[in-house]
Structure 1
Amino acid sequence: MTTTAAPLAPLAPPPDRGGRRPSSPARRRRRAVDVLLGAIAVLVFVCSVFPVYWMINTSLMPNNETRTLVPNFVPSTFTWRNYETVLSGAGRADFLPALANSATVTLLTVGVCLIFAFLAALAVTRFRFRGRRAFVLTILVVQMIPGEAMIISTYRVLDGWQLLNTIAGLTLVYVATVLPFTIWTLRGFVNGVPIELEEAAMIDGCSKSGAFWRVTFPLLAPGLVATGVFGFIQAWNEFLLALVVMSRPESMTLPVWLRTFQQATTTTNWAAIMAGSTLMAIPVIVFFLIVQGRMTSGLVSGAVKG
């Protein structure tokens, strides 16, 4: 009776003097790819952060240093005078009323858009009715219309309703601008949650509304937060419509208020503009830091309940 010997496994290369085995060519290639991708990520990060750094750097230097031919990556003379100029007014509209106007309009826009967009996304995703596809296509077409094409008609409508230079008027315009994209975005999130989760909860004894609020809604919370962040940024940074609707100094929003630093008879104070831009960016950063934690907790909670 003959036996067949099993094939011998290839011997591993002997270790070097330090006790380490030489890496294979595939491992070396993988390591080289990881190093290349890491370098690209660092480059993208630097390119993204540098404008923010340059804005803060310029806001901390005297205005005469901003006009030098040689760039100053670090202020040679550190000063807070630009922030004092921004906060004191100095012959232009005050910063705090503009901040209050922007915050009020932005929060109202985000709240109204999320409520109506959430209901519309549920309707077009969970129910089948006549004209549903036409409604979705209309939302897509509305997003293709530039806001500049609607300025004259928007101004005349608000003027007829006596809503010029009012928070309600600008909020109405922003809601009409942000709502189509909000509906389109939330529709994708709602469509990604299987309806079988609600049906399973209803089998376990939940009512239809209870299954939605206990199972489906926690899974949609990250989508609501992400859409709210987009609406917040779009309403906070909008300039053209606010310039047309809010023309009085006491009703200006922050983007329109920042324009008052540019005057035809005097030199532009770029250092003060950068200081104002830095102060404008702080609420957005704070808002994102707050909702980022809620986005993660909502995602984990929804996954556990589902």
Structure 2
Amino acid sequence: MTTRRRRIRPGRLLLGLVALLVAALWAFPVYWMTISSLMSNIRLQSGAPTFWPVNASMDNYAAVWGSGSFLPALRMSLLVTGLTIVCTLVFAFLAALAVSRYRFSGRRSFILAVLLIQMLPAEGLFIAQYRLIGSLHLLNTVLGISIVYVAAVVPFTIWMLRGFVAGVPVELEEAAMVDGLSRTKAFLRITFPLLAPGLVASGVYAFLQAWNEFTVALVVLQSDTAKTLPIWLRSFVQASASRDTDWGQVMAASSLIAVPVIIFFLFVQGRMTSGLVSGAVKG
């Protein structure tokens, strides 16, 4: 019995090398941020670049952590992001169920309105949002900025979840109801578990939008005691304006901001992958 050795095609080898190059280019800024956070500012401002941390230390992280303003900003970002995710998933999920499973008057107008809202530039809404949140006395509050984030994220999330809901056959619920389950129990036991990947994928989108958002927070959060992490990082850099910017501390602060994102993705990566693939083929 003869065995055939697999021959690597030149085309596939070339594609593999290109993929590795693209991955290296994508990962290099993250690598540079990490090693820069471990070096002193004097070393970073030297003429010769260093691609490996020389005399690495955790002094920059200690300085950022002990600044006294990082933990309040972290707490506010976590509260705003958590509230945005929960509210977005609840509202968008109910709306996606309504437009996918039920026929009602104004359904097409609602779907068209959701689509048109996505075309509005965010900058054009700043004044209206500021006046609205101000009239509710919610400026510089977690609830105020969360309301703006939810309003911005919900329309696109409805479109995402609509594809997942439409991909689950309604006959599954009908079969469960024939077996004696109520409509609510049939939905919770049969349909809802199948929609979990879509909810995770939509939650990831809401998380990234709320965690990294800068411009709206800059307008709504103007108090020194109410800052999300992107706003705090800006003020942290500006605090060094009277002298040379301490880039080591700036990189350490940026690395700390990225840690919750990494932890979140570690928890949801399995569901997120299946959710994105399912959303690509259902609808």
TM-score, normalized by length of structure 2?
A: 0.90
Which among 246, 256, 269 is matched to residue 246 of structure 2? 269
Query: Is it true that 1:219 corresponds to 2:188 in the alignment?
Result: no
Report if the CA contact (8 A) 1:118-1:186 is conserved. yes
Partner residue in 2 for 1:203:
178
Map residues 127-206 of structure 1 onto 2, 5 A cutoff.
127-206=102-181
Task: Give me the whole-angstrom Cα distance separating, in 2, the residues matched to 1:176 and 1:121.
Answer: 15
Partner residue in 2 for 1:283:
260
Among the aligned pairs, what percent are the same residue? 56
Give the aligned length.
Answer: 274
Task: Give me the whole-angstrom Cα distance separating, in 1, the residues matched to 2:14 and 2:171.
Answer: 44
Partner residue in 2 for 1:43:
21
Task: Give me the whole-angstrom Cα distance separating, in 1, the residues matched to 2:34 and 2:175.
Answer: 53
Report if the CA contact (8 A) 2:201-2:275 is conserved. no
How big is each residue's C-alpha offset from its partner over 1:245-287, in whole Å with a ceiling of 9 and x where there is no partner? 1111211110000001333432222211111110011111111
Partner residue in 2 for 1:251:
226
Task: Give me the whole-angstrom Cα distance separating, in 2, the residues matched to 1:20 and 1:207.
Answer: 59
Report if the CA contact (8 A) 2:200-2:275 is conserved. no
Question: What is the Cα deviation at residue 63 of structure 1?
Answer: 1.0
Report if the CA contact (8 A) 1:261-1:268 is conserved. no
Partner residue in 1 for 2:281:
none
Of the two structures, which has the highest relative contact order with CA contacts closer than 8 Å and spacing of 6 or more?
Answer: 2
Question: What is the Cα deviation at residue 20 of structure 1?
Answer: 5.7
Task: Give me the whole-angstrom Cα distance separating, in 2, the residues matched to 1:186 and 1:252.
Answer: 31
Task: Give me the whole-angstrom Cα distance separating, in 1, the residues matched to 2:203 and 2:91.
Answer: 12
Which among 48, 63, 71 is matched to residue 70 of structure 1? 48
Which among 108, 114, 133 is matched to residue 83 of structure 2? 108
Partner residue in 2 for 1:80:
58
Report if the CA contact (8 A) 2:96-2:161 is conserved. yes
Task: Give me the whole-angstrom Cα distance separating, in 1, the residues matched to 2:204 and 2:105.
Answer: 32
Question: What is the Cα deviation at residue 157 of structure 1?
Answer: 1.4
- CA RMSD in angstroms, aligned pairs only: 2.2
Larger radius of gyration: 1
Report if the CA contact (8 A) 1:60-1:79 is conserved. yes
Question: What is the Cα deviation at residue 297 of structure 1?
Answer: 9.5
Partner residue in 2 for 1:12:
none
Question: What is the Cα deviation at residue 298 of structure 1?
Answer: 9.4
Task: Give me the whole-angstrom Cα distance separating, in 1, the residues matched to 2:120 and 2:275.
Answer: 34
> SS in structure 1 opposite 2:225?
helix
How big is each residue's C-alpha offset from its partner over 1:177-219, in whole Å with a ceiling of 9 and x where there is no partner? 1111111111111111121222222233322222211111111
Which among 186, 192, 208 is matched to residue 233 of structure 1? 208
> SS in structure 2 opposite 1:248?
coil
Which among 125, 131, 139 is matched to residue 100 of structure 2? 125
Amino acid at match of 1:291: V
TM-score, normalized by length of structure 1?
A: 0.83
Amino acid at match of 1:290: F
Residues 138 and 69 (structure 1), Cα distance of their counterparts in 2 relative to 1, 3 Å cut: farther
Map residues 13-52 of structure 1 onto 2, 5 A cutoff.
28=7, 31-52=9-30
Unaligned runs of 5+ residues in structure 1 are 1-14, 300-306
Task: Give me the whole-angstrom Cα distance separating, in 2, the residues matched to 1:179 and 1:20.
Answer: 57
Task: Give me the whole-angstrom Cα distance separating, in 2, the residues matched to 1:36 and 1:213.
Answer: 48
